């Protein structure tokens, strides 16, 4: 256990903490600016993982109509359903747990970052004493030892203090930015049950983090807000503002019409499973036509899917 | 924490100040508490050592107030006072300093100002002396001058009589350690990892000495040798000219100011190690340690207090220990200041 603690300290905590202090020195001893720069740096360092994660999620989202169709088509044959689903994943180059990998890699960084901010934003002399043992003494250009105690004021805020009721705007901003990022990354599911879960999560997380923000130093809230906004910007470059609208979609209560497999236009899906923007008008047209055909021949569709 | 032969005054970080009657090998018992146990009132934490006057005990608290309490009852009574009189929003981390001759008590605040009061009446003597940042450094009053450091990286000398600035000395980091005088040289450590020797009269630099980490605790001296504890884990012994005589590695950061006793120097580390060191200038190597005790898991952070042949050590876990210093270190008693039942022994 001691070895784990030592490794955690030496590999995650100390490098991150010293980077933050170096940024503090570079940013004219302004802790608020240092936290913003540090957040941007961490997001930049984890950008390849974030991009991979977002692309996997996008690919999974694009496969949703086909998966739904597969589930309906092989509703009574679980083995076949699973087999066909795996085949679809393979053909589309999608790893169903692929989006979890980058997330798992990022978790230690996030936990570490949380600890680093707590340790840097000290309120009592004892906390400052803890900090001294974690600073590198060998950084020649940036005297990190002389930088402490760090100036913790930013735009009139004490970054080490918890937000007062008067500063409720900070937790509100944490909640709002979390909602925005979640809204951008969550694409509405076609399954009403999933849709309901997604809807709940979309509100639960921001409210929870907003409440947490009252319990933690303002500096940590600034990290959350900046990190969320950068996340929104990254998402914008991948999907545009599309997923954000409509802001408050109506919940789908009736199951959607399902097409038989052979009626799905082959040009809808690219080899890698992504739908390019150029194909979107065709896809919409094709869906409309498919739905029309399904209405005209309801019995045939039902007959096949209930076999 | 501060001690006399009969009484030990202990302030903990949870808001209680206690006067402990020291009964030697029979242990220790709580004689007075401020605020009284029955009271809901709290003094929200004391970081530095209280100071004893002839009649009053001076305590600086995180609530931003300086308390002067009757030392025999630990109550404000008719002679005690609390300053400032109005609302405050910044804590007092620095301890008070008393000039018994001139009847002045001075303390620095996190609001960046140094306050000087009449030690008897609590009257503010002159407008607060303002520095550029927080003050955590306990002042030293000597020869009519108040010396102290500030987070603004400077060491200041201020006249006791009128609060006039005599000089300031810039360092490369925050100064939180208490300054110390040896002859006419003011010795003070900084977060820039240097210990400075400053001419106490004009504030000019005489020498500087570099260690591997902050100088957080104050140095002590026997009049010839300076003993400076560093956060790099070493206790450095320097002559009055700032030349290193020897260093002893305590293997963990030194946050507590050491104590000089007749047998040598008692040093306590943040890893719970207490050593009695031979202060002789000769290079004694491992023979420098005359005696040593270890209290695993105990972080000694409070300045060591001395009374008679004993040292009193306060730790972060709210324990207080009396250790008798003879040919070796002998633990006399240990007490938990937080315990509400009979389990005060540790």
Of A124, A146, A151, the CB nearest to B172: A146
The residue among B14, B231, B252, B300 with the most chain A CBs within 10 A of its CB, best to mutate, is B231
Q: Classify residue B256 as exposed, middle or buried by CB count within 10 Å of its CB (0-12, 13-18, 19+).
A: buried
User: What is the Cα–Cα distance from A302 to A305, expressed in whole angstroms?
Assistant: 5
Estimate the crossing angle of helix A218-239 against helix A192-215, to 10 degrees.
150
Among candidates B93, B192, B253 on the partner chain, residue whose Cβ is nearest the Cβ of A129: B253
How far B77 CA lies from chain A's nearest CA (Å)? 31
Judge if B122 and B40 occupy the same domain: yes
Up-side HSE of residue A52: CA atoms within 13 Å toward CB? 17
Are B102 and B225 part of one and the same domain?
Answer: no
Terminal CA-to-CA distance of chain B, rounded, Å? 18
At residue A271's C-alpha, the angle toward residues A265 and A272, to 5°, is: 125
At residue A307, the pLDDT reads 33
Domain housing A286 = 261-305
Residue A181, CA distances (Å) to A177, A178, A232 in order? 6, 5, 5
User: How close A21 comes to chain B (CA, Å)?
Assistant: 14
Give the mean pLDDT per block of 10 residues along chain B (346 residues): 87 79 82 78 77 92 91 88 83 92 93 95 96 95 96 96 97 95 96 96 97 94 95 94 94 94 94 93 79 93 91 90 93 80 64
Are A59 and A188 members of one domain? Answer: no
In a domain, A156, yes or no: no
Q: pLDDT tens for residues A222-263?
A: 888 998 899 888 888 877 776 666 665 555 554 444 444 444
Cβ atoms within 10 A of the Cβ of A164, count?
A: 11
- Residue B298, domain member (yes or no): yes
Check which CATH number belongs to the domain holding B220 and give it: 2.40.10.480
> Between the CA of residue B131 and those of A215, B60, B150, B170, what are the distances in Å?
32, 19, 7, 12
Please check whether residues A131 and A98 belong to one and the same domain: yes
Please tell me the total count of domains within chain B.
Answer: 2
Give yes or no for residue A121 having a pLDDT over 90: no
A125–B151 CB contact, under 8 Å: no
Domain boundary among B218, B249, B280: B249
Looking at per-residue confidence, does B12 or A87 come out higher? A87
Facing B212 at nearest CB: one of A125, A129, A137: A137
Q: What are phi and psi of A125, to 5 degrees?
A: -55, -35
Q: Tell which wins on pLDDT, B177 or A66.
A: B177
Q: Do B93 and A125 touch (CB under 8 A)?
A: yes
Cβ <8 Å between B134 and A149: yes
Cβ-defined contact of B192 to A149 (cutoff 8 Å): no
Selected residue of B191, B210, B211, B252 to mutate for chain A interface (largest A Cβ count, 10 A): B191
pLDDT of residue A269: 40
CB pairs under 8 A between A and B: 50
Q: DSSP state, B240?
A: T
> Which residues of chain A have a CB within 8 Å of the CB of B90?
none
**What's the average model confidence in pLDDT over A160-168?**
77
- Whether the predicted pLDDT of A104 surpasses 90: no
B216·A129 Cβ contact <8 A: yes
Same domain, A211 and A243: yes
pLDDT tens track for B78-116: 899 999 877 787 889 999 999 988 899 999 999 999 999
Are residues B136 and A148, on separate chains, in Cβ contact within 8 Å? no
With contacts defined as CB-CB under 8 Å, which chain A residues touch B133? 151
Report the residue of A123, A126, A129 to disrupt the B interface, i.e. the one with the largest count of B CBs within 10 Å. A129
Bridge partner list, B291: B276
* Chain A partners within 8 Å of B255 (Cβ): 129
Last residue of a domain, one of B186, B220, B249: B249
Strands of the B17-22 sheet, one edge to the other: B2-3, B7-11, B17-22, B28-34
- Whole-angstrom CA distances from A105 to A93, A109, A117 are 21, 8, 20
Mean of per-residue pLDDT scores for chain B: 90
Residues comprising chain B, all counted:
346
For residue A268, what are the β-bridge partners?
none
Q: Looking at beta carbons, which residues of chain A come within 8 Å of B46?
A: none
Of A126, A137, A145, the CB nearest to B191: A145
Q: What is the domain extent for residue B83?
A: 2-171+263-336
Predicted local distance difference test score (pLDDT) of residue A194: 67
Q: In what helix (H) or strand (E) does residue B247 lie, and over which residues does it extend?
A: strand B244-249
Judge if B150 and B59 occupy the same domain: yes
In a domain, A279, yes or no: yes
A54 exposed, middle or buried (CB, 10 Å; 0-12, 13-18, 19+)? Answer: buried
Residue ending a domain, choose from A222, A240, A256: A256
Q: What is the pTM of this model?
A: 0.77
Confidence of residue A97 (pLDDT cuts 50, 70, 90): low
Q: Per DSSP, which regions of chain A are E strands?
A: 153-154, 157-158
pLDDT tens column, A263-305: 444 434 433 444 444 444 444 444 444 444 444 444 443 433 3
B270 in contact with A, Cβ within 8 Å: yes
Note whether B73 and B166 are same-domain residues.
Answer: yes
Residue B106 to chain A, least CA–CA distance (Å): 20
Q: Is residue B257 part of a domain?
A: no
Residue B346 located in a structural domain: no
Tell me which chain B residues have a C-beta less than 8 angstroms from the C-beta of A146: 172-173, 191-193
Which residues on chain A place their C-beta less than 8 Å from a C-beta of chain B?
A: 124-126, 129, 132-133, 137, 143, 145-149, 151
Helix spans in B178-320 (H): none
Distance in Å from the first CA to the final CA of chain A? 57
pLDDT tens for each residue of B238-250: 999 999 999 999 9
pLDDT at res. B327? 87
Do B15 and B107 reside in the same domain of the chain? yes
B214 vs A contacts (CB less than 8 Å):
132, 145, 148
Residues B182 and B140 in one domain: no
Q: Which residues of chain B are within 8 Å of residue A147 when distances are taken between CB atoms? A: 173
**B316–A126 C-beta distance less than 8 A:** yes
Percent of chain A past pLDDT 70, that is, above it, reads: 71
Q: Quick check: helix, strand or coil at residue B336? A: strand
What pLDDT, on a 0 to 100 scale, did the predictor assign at position A96? 66
Same domain, A5 and A113: yes
Q: Could you count the other beta carbons within 10 Å of the beta carbon of residue A176?
A: 15
Residues A125 and A251 in one domain: no
DSSP helix/strand/coil, B258: coil
Q: Which CATH number do you get for residue B114?
A: 2.140.10.10
Q: What is the pLDDT of residue A126?
A: 80
- With a cut of 70, say whether residue A101 has pLDDT above it: no
Interface check for B288 against chain A (CB to CB < 8 A): the answer is no
Q: Which of B48, B154, B173 to probe by mutation at the A interface, max A CB count within 10 Å?
A: B173
**pLDDT tens digit sequence for A186-225:** 666 666 666 777 777 778 888 888 888 888 888 888 888 9
Please tell me which of the candidates B173, B174, B255 has its beta carbon nearest to residue A129: B255
CB contact under 8 A, B231 and A137: no
B173 touches chain A (CB under 8 A): yes
DSSP character string of A152-200? -EETTEETTSPPPGGGTHHHHHHHHHHHHHHHHHPPPPSSHHHHHHHHH
**B194 interfacial to chain A (CB closer than 8 Å):** no
Q: Which of these three, B201, B222, B249, is where a domain ends?
A: B249
Specify burial of residue A186 (Cβ count, 10 A radius: 0-12, 13-18, 19+): middle
CB proximity B213 to A under 8 Å: yes
Rounded Cα–Cα distance for residues A287 and A257 (Å): 10
A91 has a pLDDT exceeding 70: yes
């Amino acid at each position: 256990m001691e070895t784990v603690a030592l490794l955690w300290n030496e590999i995650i905590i100390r490098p991150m903490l010293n980077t933050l202090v170096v940024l503090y020195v570079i940013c004219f001893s302004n802790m608020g600016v240092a936290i913003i720069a540090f957040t941007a740096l961490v997001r930049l360092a984890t950008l390849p993982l974030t991009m991979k994660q977002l692309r996997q999620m996008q690919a999974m989202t694009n496969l949703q109509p086909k998966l739904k169709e597969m589930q309906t088509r092989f509703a009574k044959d679980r083995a076949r359903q699973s087999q066909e689903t795996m085949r679809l994943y393979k053909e589309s180059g999608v790893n169903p747990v692929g989006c979890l990998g980058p997330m798992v890699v990022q978790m230690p960084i996030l936990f570490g970052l949380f600890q680093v901010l707590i340790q840097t934003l000290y309120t009592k002399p004892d906390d400052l004493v803890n900090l001294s043992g974690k600073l590198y003494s060998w950084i020649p250009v940036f005297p990190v030892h002389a930088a402490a105690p760090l100036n913790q004021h930013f735009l009139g805020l004490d970054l080490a203090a918890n937000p007062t009721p008067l500063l409720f705007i900070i937790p509100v901003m944490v909640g709002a930015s979390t909602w925005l990022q979640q809204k951008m990354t969550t694409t509405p599911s076609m399954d009403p049950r999933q849709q309901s879960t997604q809807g709940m999560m979309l509100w639960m997380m921001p409210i929870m983090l907003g409440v947490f923000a009252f319990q933690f130093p303002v500096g940590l809230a600034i990290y959350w807000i900046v990190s969320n906004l950068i996340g929104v910007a990254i998402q914008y470059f991948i999907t545009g503002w599309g997923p954000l609208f409509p802001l408050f979609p109506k919940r789908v209560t009736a199951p959607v019409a399902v097409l038989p497999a052979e009626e799905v236009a082959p040009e809808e899906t690219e080899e890698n499973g992504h739908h390019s923007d150029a194909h979107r008008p065709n896809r919409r047209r094709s869906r409309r036509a498919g739905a029309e055909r399904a209405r005209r021949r309801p019995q045939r569709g039902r007959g096949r899917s209930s076999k | 924490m501060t001690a006399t032969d009969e009484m030990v005054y202990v302030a903990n970080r949870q808001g209680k100040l206690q006067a402990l009657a020291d009964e030697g090998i029979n242990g220790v018992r709580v004689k007075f508490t401020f605020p009284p146990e029955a009271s809901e009132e709290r003094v929200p934490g004391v970081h530095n050592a209280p100071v004893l006057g002839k009649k009053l005990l001076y305590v600086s608290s995180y609530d931003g107030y300086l308390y002067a309490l009757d030392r025999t009852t630990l109550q404000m009574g008719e002679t005690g006072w609390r300053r400032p009189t109005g609302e405050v929003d910044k804590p007092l981390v620095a301890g008070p300093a008393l000039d018994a001759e001139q009847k002045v008590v001075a303390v620095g605040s996190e609001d960046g100002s140094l306050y000087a009061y009449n030690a008897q009446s609590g009257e503010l003597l002159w407008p607060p002396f303002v520095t550029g940042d927080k003050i955590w450094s306990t002042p030293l009053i000597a020869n009519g001058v108040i010396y102290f450091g500030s987070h603004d990286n400077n060491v200041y000398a201020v006249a006791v009589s009128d609060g006039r600035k005599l000089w300031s000395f810039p360092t490369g980091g925050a100064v939180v350690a208490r300054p110390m005088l040896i002859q006419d040289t003011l010795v003070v450590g900084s977060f820039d990892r240097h210990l400075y020797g400053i001419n106490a009269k004009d504030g000019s630099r005489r020498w500087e000495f570099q260690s591997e980490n902050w100088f957080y605790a104050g140095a002590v001296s026997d009049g010839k040798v300076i003993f400076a504890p560093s956060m790099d884990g070493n206790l450095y012994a320097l002559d009055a000219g700032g030349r290193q005589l020897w260093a002893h590695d305590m293997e963990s950061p030194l946050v507590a100011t050491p104590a000089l006793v007749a047998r040598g120097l008692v040093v306590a580390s943040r890893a719970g190690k207490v050593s009695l060191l031979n202060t002789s200038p000769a290079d004694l190597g491992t023979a420098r340690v005359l005696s040593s005790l270890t209290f695993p898991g105990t972080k000694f952070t409070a300045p060591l207090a001395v009374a008679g042949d004993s040292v009193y050590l306060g730790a972060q876990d709210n324990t207080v220990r009396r250790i008798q210093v003879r040919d070796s270190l002998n633990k006399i008693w240990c007490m938990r200041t937080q315990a509400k039942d009979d389990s005060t022994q540790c």
